[in-house]
Structure 1
Amino acid sequence: MVETLSKPVTVMRISAEDHVAVALQPLEAGTEVVVDGQAIHLRDAIPAGHKFAALPIAAGSPVRRYRAPIGLATRDIAVGEHVHVHNVHTALSGEKAYAFSGARAEEHKAQSSRSFRGYVRPDGSVGTRNELWILPTVGCVGRLGERLAAKGNLRSPANVDGVHAFNHPFGCSQLGADLDGTAAVIASLALNPNAGGVLLLGLGCESNQLEELLKRIPEDRRDRLRVLRAQSESDEFAAGEALIDELLGLMAEDRREDVPLSKLRLGVKCGGSDAMSGLTANPLIGLMADAVIEAGGAAILTEIPEIFGAENLLLERATSEEVFDKLSGLVNSFKRYFIENGEPVSENPSPGNIAGGITTLEEKSLGAVQKGGLAPVCDVIGYGERISTTGLTVLEAPGNDAVSTTALAAAGATITLFSTGRGTPLGSPVPTMKIASNHSLAERKPGWIDFDAGLVLEKGMAGAADLLLDRIIAVASGEPARNESNDERAIGIWKRGVTL
């Protein structure tokens, strides 16, 4: 972790234990660089974000970065050589046996002076937005929802932050656990405090029946919920407009008020990562998670396949044996999911990750888990479930950006921090702040990026953290995130079963 930098640097190594250092800018072969006082002549050209050997590495031995192995050397690697997919291979395999060695104590919650202006809901939860969400039970009425949202926005009161429909292709031709996952996510989205009103929009003949879906929503949470069955209406559009107007009338009375930082529910996510993500953006997001949790709030970490190889950093922070068993079981069940589908557990990083300097899934995971900060792991929940405690919760979901950001919103996140080294415009139902890992991306894509974590290399981690927390509070209080300004809002549902 970068604490302070007194002058510009061209290379960085986290620890003297690490075999590799990272080039912060393109370096030509023959360049002399200094790593922890040692002069190294580069044998190869090193692209920005890529690694070179700071210590000799023997064939077959572990290659260390982040103080941990990121894979095995496939041949001898000399000091100054480029270290990447041509000479390093993953060491990941299948399921593992994990041994519980003791519980991590939950940390004392400190009173924070920071606050934001949010919408307090009757159950005590707080939204960062006051939006009307149209949630289709099935893809057949997805476009109907989008048309209703477009017209509803034209009639929306000034203090309603928008009317949004979340189209998807599922809800029918699904069976068993696959259908259950779709229903669970939609029901949980309906309970997100950013939704000041919800229209559940059904067709009538779909597998995801409205009557069954409603059973997942407590009766005391249905005062801002309306239901429309399109096949039961002679004019479904007019009926939908009437229900939307009814909800907008109720929402018009809602007002923002000052609430403590402890009321924030923070989702953390990464996508389009590069080798800088684990040096700047992800540890910076981890500090935000720790700040919110220390104040008494909650953070949610997901993308289970992207903790493979780094799961022990989370397991050793479990607050109980039950939490430990849930988390280790979740990691193994995800590995089993890959294996049963004939895929290796290490089928990651993506081509873009590799181009950005990430070599193996272990390396990607060791960078990714830093988004969860250092707080104890208080709970582990399944896909489509909602958080029930403060602190750090680990959520079952894959790494896919649309699916995991949707799962975070369904779990209760009211704002999501999304680190990226390559860039993406994607947004979820809640404000989805993009944290660039490097200056270049932030400068090239100002319309996508909410915060430049490249500032870590100039201001140190603590200085950049103060600035990012200010920005988070501004967005939580109503300032639009870039995805909102660009109208980039969508959901992705995890499809796991057969399609009829």
Structure 2
Amino acid sequence: MSRPLTTPRFIRLQPQDTVVVAVDTIETGAAVAGVTARARVPRGHKMATVPMPAGAPVVKFGQIIAFATADIAPGDHVHSHNCAFQAFARDYAFASEARPEEILPVEARATFEGFRRPDGKVGTRNYVAILSSVNCSAHVARYMAEAINRSGILEEFPSVDGVVPFVHGTGCGMAASGEGFEVLKRTQWGYASNPNVAAVLLVGLGCEVFQIGRMKQEYGIAEGDHFQTMTIQDTGGTRKTIEQGVARIREMLPVAARAKRETVPASELMLALQCGGSDGYSGITANPALGAAADLLVAHGGTAILSETPEIYGAEHLLTRRAATREVGEKLVERIRWWEDYTAKAGGSMDNNPSPGNKAGGLTTILEKSLGAAAKGGTTTLRNVYEYAERVDAKGFVFMDTPGYDPVSATGQVAGGANILCFTTGRGSAYGCKPTPSIKLATNTDIYTRMIDDMDINCGDILDGVSIDDKGREIFDRVLAIASGERSKSEELGYGDNEFVPWQIGATM
């Protein structure tokens, strides 16, 4: 970082970059990076330091982020008015940079206080879940949860974090086979079996495409104290179903309350990596710091899940080089090709992301956004690539194919088994998650201060000299604390009841 006393602060991320990033607003005429600003450059935005004729690549992070659409002179503000996305070939160099991790011995690993489940997995929370198989049973599921939460009975079970309805807008009007059905099936069972859930009641209407009996048969699920099902049609209507459902949940609460926190190694953590409301600082502060925390978790034997496939588009070659094998790298490229086809069929483009808010914060193209977003994944070897909501069974750094839309993406990660989540934001996000606690990382001090009730950690002080490694350690320590029961800001605000959003793929019939 360059920081002359007489000029606005700026950052040149790599020596070969053709732009610098404004830490402070650069006013017209200011001397910055050896050139004179020809226009005002807002905080988080880019200023050219070399001439770039029309068609020339714009380089940031040492990588191509855009191509000039007009001649750009040194000192120009570089943004969507003079550069744009353009596809180009990348060298995937599969597995060329894979390296063995230095995993700490068990006795040297950090610990947290978690709930050990009968299957050996460990939860960071202890919820009772009410899942709806179809939108037609959503109201009933909500009414059940409201009745329990209003009754005051939860005060008798302080180790139970709550009763939560996980309802959605699909489950019927869909094909009974194929990709869309499989995604919903994985998502439903993934939430039911997430280690943060102690007991589950699955409620259906009865005649929907997504049949509860079929799911139980395909997964070999037997009903008992921890898992029960019912349908409105078989039970005799709305009122009877609510009454019987509430009675069943009352019986589940003592079962859930048997779970007690115990000391477990950090290797039992599965950390979901998310970003939303990104800005020009995301790839400079919070995302690399979260990547450093992910590297620490991997060293302690844990798992970190990078996702949001549209938001690593253009940076996937950095991940394929870190793939453990060529086959792992090719699985990632296959998902990229699927997304190119998916967006083309809908008449869209992969550059439809970034959002207007991302652009206002300084991000110009999906290439720039992706290069910053991929930094959340740290530096360790990519061990596996999973489809949406697929059960994550590998230790280390992995990737899950999800959309970039935060609630849908995080839903897939939680279904895959994530028991803790970190979410970086520069514009300010109000996202929260149940049953998996979400920890908010602000990319800049302004948003941390302005949204202090929502933000858990300020990564903006990296711009003032705090190292990425030190901030990564701070994030890792907070992950351990919140995994042990400390409440995140989004939990204190009560977020998480409306963020269960399964990915809908395919035609609505």
Q: 1:156-235 counterparts in 2 under 5 A?
A: 156=154, 157-175=157-175, 176=177, 177-219=179-221, 224-234=226-236, 235=240
- Kindly state the Cα deviation for residue 169 of structure 1 after the two structures are TM-superposed: 0.9
The match for 1:10 is 9
Deviation track 1:271-318 (CA, whole Å, cap 9, x = no partner) reads: 110000000010011111111111111011111011111100000011
Gaps of 5+ in 1: none
Deviation track 1:360-381 (CA, whole Å, cap 9, x = no partner) reads: 1100000000011111111111
3-state SS of the aligned residue for 1:215? Answer: helix
- Kindly state the Cα deviation for residue 222 of structure 1 after the two structures are TM-superposed: 6.2
Identity %: 37
- Kindly state the Cα deviation for residue 58 of structure 1 after the two structures are TM-superposed: 2.4
Aligned-partner Cα distance in 2 for 1:322–1:366: 23
Aligned-partner Cα distance in 1 for 2:3–2:58: 26
The match for 2:505 is 496
Aligned-partner Cα distance in 2 for 1:218–1:66: 48
1:51 is the counterpart of 2:46: yes
- Kindly state the Cα deviation for residue 438 of structure 1 after the two structures are TM-superposed: 0.4
Length, aligned pairs only: 493
3-state SS of the aligned residue for 2:352? Answer: coil
Deviation track 1:131-164 (CA, whole Å, cap 9, x = no partner) reads: 1111110111112111211222331211101111
8 A contact 1:125–1:193 mirrored in 2: yes
The match for 2:485 is 478
Q: CA RMSD in A?
A: 2.1
Gaps of 5+ in 2: none
Aligned-partner Cα distance in 2 for 1:130–1:101: 39
Q: 1:122-161 counterparts in 2 under 5 A?
A: 122-153=118-149, 154-156=152-154, 157-161=157-161
1:67 is the counterpart of 2:66: no
Aligned-partner Cα distance in 2 for 1:209–1:145: 16
- Kindly state the Cα deviation for residue 218 of structure 1 after the two structures are TM-superposed: 4.5
Paired AA for residue 324 in structure 2: T
The match for 2:279 is 274
Aligned-partner Cα distance in 1 for 2:389–2:346: 22
8 A contact 1:14–1:67 mirrored in 2: yes
The match for 1:392 is 397
Q: Which TM-score applies when normalising by structure 1?
A: 0.94
- Kindly state the Cα deviation for residue 97 of structure 1 after the two structures are TM-superposed: 8.8
Paired AA for residue 472 in structure 2: A
8 A contact 1:308–1:331 mirrored in 2: yes
Do the aligned partners of residues 213 and 398 (structure 1) sit closer, same or farther apart at CA in structure 2, a change above 3 Å counting? same
Paired AA for residue 200 in structure 2: V
The match for 1:308 is 313
8 A contact 2:195–2:419 mirrored in 1: yes
The match for 1:404 is 409
The match for 1:454 is 460
Aligned-partner Cα distance in 2 for 1:5–1:473: 35
The match for 2:440 is 434
Deviation track 1:190-247 (CA, whole Å, cap 9, x = no partner) reads: 1110001111111111111101122354548965111122221131112101211121
- Kindly state the Cα deviation for residue 102 of structure 1 after the two structures are TM-superposed: 4.6
Deviation track 1:235-271 (CA, whole Å, cap 9, x = no partner) reads: 1112101211121111111111111111110000111
8 A contact 2:99–2:380 mirrored in 1: no
8 A contact 1:191–1:221 mirrored in 2: no
Q: After alignment, is 426-435 or 218-227 more displaced?
A: 218-227
Aligned-partner Cα distance in 2 for 1:440–1:103: 37
- Kindly state the Cα deviation for residue 25 of structure 1 after the two structures are TM-superposed: 2.1
1:32 is the counterpart of 2:31: yes
Paired AA for residue 437 in structure 2: P
Q: Which TM-score applies when normalising by structure 2?
A: 0.93
Q: After alignment, is 319-328 or 214-223 more displaced?
A: 214-223
Paired AA for residue 248 in structure 1: L
